[in-house]
Structure 1
Amino acid sequence: MATIDLDRLVKRYGQSTVVHGIDLSIQDGEFVVLVGPSGCGKSTTLRMIAGLEEISEGHIRIGGQVVNDLQPKDRNIAMVFQNYAIYPHMSVAENIAFGLYRSKLSKNEKRVRVEQAAETLGLSHLLERRPSALSGGQRQRVAIGRAMVRDPAAFLFDEPLSNLDAQLRTQMRIEIKRLHHRLGTTSVFVTHDQVEAMTMADRIVVMRDGRILQVGTPLELYEKPVDIFTARFIGSPTMNLLSATLRESGTDLATGGSVPPPAAPATTAAILVGVRPQDLVPASAPTGGLTVSGPVALVETLGSETLVHIESGGETIVGSAPGRQIPRVGEVMTLHAPTERLYYFDKATEKALAAQ
């Protein structure tokens, strides 16, 4: 196991800069997820850690050692890719053992490592099968096993679940997290899926346009986003943002009504008031906080909850109702969120403003 430190890391392709001097420290044994939309620089950052991309500026340290000039094979890391990249003509055992191809271990030591990895991943009964006889999740476990047998200082995962269906993705999320708890190996995981990030990470790194916007635990990012991008990217469904105007007497909403003003001053009177759908629920006699009313435009029945889309003041606002409470389209509903569940953002800078 090892720490991983990125110091003012820059990546350029010609005149185009895709990673802009980022700093990040990953602790020994930590599971860190890099998350962001396509093109934000997360995979490029991972590939620089792995040694698959040259570094334009800055330094990478693994276990305290600068590895800028080291080949990937000399960095003592193991990478699991989006594509399983397992050999179809080899058995499961042979594919896992391929991770030890360059090692100087004896045949017996290699066999023991393969068997241990297979047992950990639940593949012991499949060692003689070929990949064509495996499910997608089993093939991905074989790819992880091939990385495990090397006993690396760190695991790097580059969107390894993207090619799996929804049920397998959920299953593999659980298995990878269990594996991390069992092995305690430093892990860096790249994904564009905020659900994967929230359910797997010790800490999440939100990236946009080659820059780090915020680093924190899943709950910190959910509860205290530093800007509009993070607020809308973390959490599903995405946060509602309502246009508002600051007055001396309070904050007037474009949808009607008012809410208490933020504690911090904004650069202009134009701000945005945010509320998560899970905090905006039906209320018969609401007091204080944020209240919106309007006809139901769309209903999403999820079983455990019902997502309600209402039209109010020219905006579509999403709230949450109990799973068995299914309103009719066209029905007028009133939704309410308490003041302590509201978020405020400066419309000009897109930065968060302190709430009351």
Structure 2
Amino acid sequence: MSAIDVPVGISWTKLLAVVVLATVLGGVGAGFVSTDIFDATTQPSPAPLGGDSASEVAGITVTATDPSNVRNEAGDAGVVAGALGGRLDLERDVSRVGFVVRSRLPNGTWVVVDRASVESIQSGTDAIDLATVVGGPNTTYLDHTQSDGFDVATPGSTARRDGAVAVTAHLYADGQRVATVTDTDGYAFVVDRPAGRTVGGPNENTVTASGDGASSSNDQSETRSDSTRSAGGGAGGSETENGAEANRTTALFGAQDVLPGSRGTSTAQLSNPRDESVTATFAVGGAVDDENGLTEPEATVDDTATQGELSDHLAVRIAITRESGGRSYLVGSTDGYVSLADAVETTRSLELDPNETVSVVVEWRVDAAVGNEIQSDRTTLSVHCTFEPSTTLLAAIA
């Protein structure tokens, strides 16, 4: 957010086109926690008002879209960003509106991330679009130093993170503040940290639709990609055989260039890395999208040039199959699929024999009615597995 706080006189009808904004130098930037308007350790609340009640002067609505999910070896949340928008509706003329944007830190306190002001505003016409003043399609909610508390410490695990953004508007008339209004919107995203040992990947396990999904026919095309690499027995990664990391493995699955009405299957093999029976706990990690460029048909319907939409339209079921032919569902069932978003953090535990290998099978499908916004997009999904000494064995030893 890079507003410029240079107050200018403008007519209301030209507000959105010519409003000049600026960052207030005092109290803006990383680490500035403000107690103005509300206690920085609590939920934002309006300041005491003078004159009219807030509802008689203005109303504010704030929208903050969810940031993209994140996956990296360090489990670093990085810059947390999304589209910040909303509107301020005025019920009376005001001489100035001062905006303050705050974001909630992982520890629950609030930090000021932007300020801006707009001069000479008349009521009775269009509302002030917050996206043109203090927001927009790629607004930074938290920078990489502020988001440290969202990081994931344990390799081979996933965490859902929740935050919030608040916009406060101070309204002035004749040099006096006549009202203060505040609204807050929450957001959520997933931080995914693969284990040091991985199998599969966005390219190795990519499944692409081969049929003409854009035709008027609703016929579905199906393709299959099988990863024959197995993780276990000390293969891959830099972990020591007896280290904690040796008990964790992440399988990665990918889908790209998917057409409406298509479906596919990806498979990865995971092996018990221990010479004893173990309890293997499988957990669905985060789905990470990649816009992977914009095709011309996609660009006309996709207003997020840096964020893919494929995962929003994928339905999946995930099964764990044994060499003996047994099958257990981690997500979905024989008769049903679930949305990929609902699959995240689902877990299931199985007992595995020494050196036993199982296959994780991800089946996906896309509805034929999905539009061009998924063209060229790519999605990768992780399934984490933790191998621990069998609870049955531990009970027998005890």
Taking structure 2 as the reference length, the TM-score comes to 0.26
Give the TM-score normalised by the residue count of structure 1. Answer: 0.28
Name the structure where helix makes up a greater proportion of residues. 1
- Structure with greater strand percent: 2
